[in-house]
Amino acid sequence: MASAVDPLCNSWQHLYQQTCSETDQEKLPELLSRLEYAIRLRQMELVTSADHHDERLAMKLATKAVLRIKRHELKVSEVVEAGTSQG
């Protein structure tokens, strides 16, 4: 049985909160990179699990938020969503 507070789960969530509340544009690229990495790690941990539906949805929404931050806050013009092909 999993504990109510899973530190592995909370690491990407903590980074997400930190990233969303960051106002220093110079710190955002590093935070975004760390957040994306933490989300990918957690997704790999959950790849064989049929559970964690709420967390999977939260990660999907966080990934979309990362893209919005890159486009609008950092003015990154060539942002490609994960899972899309570049042809």
* DSSP codes of every residue in 27-41: THHHHHHHHHHHHHH
Q: Which of 77, 17, 2, 8 is nearest to 40 (CA)?
A: 8
Q: What would the pLDDT profile of 23-39 be if each residue is shown by its tens digit?
A: 999 999 999 999 999 99
Average model confidence (pLDDT) for the chain?
82
Give the chain's count of helices (H) and strands (E): 3, 0
Sign of the Cα pseudo-torsion (55, 19, 12, 42, in order): positive
pLDDT tens string 58-70: 999 999 999 999 8
Domain edges within the chain: 29-74
In the prediction, which pLDDT does 66 show? 93
Cα 71 to Cα 32, 36, 67, 68, 77, distances in angstroms: 12, 15, 6, 5, 6
The yes-or-no verdict on residue 3 having pLDDT over 70 is no
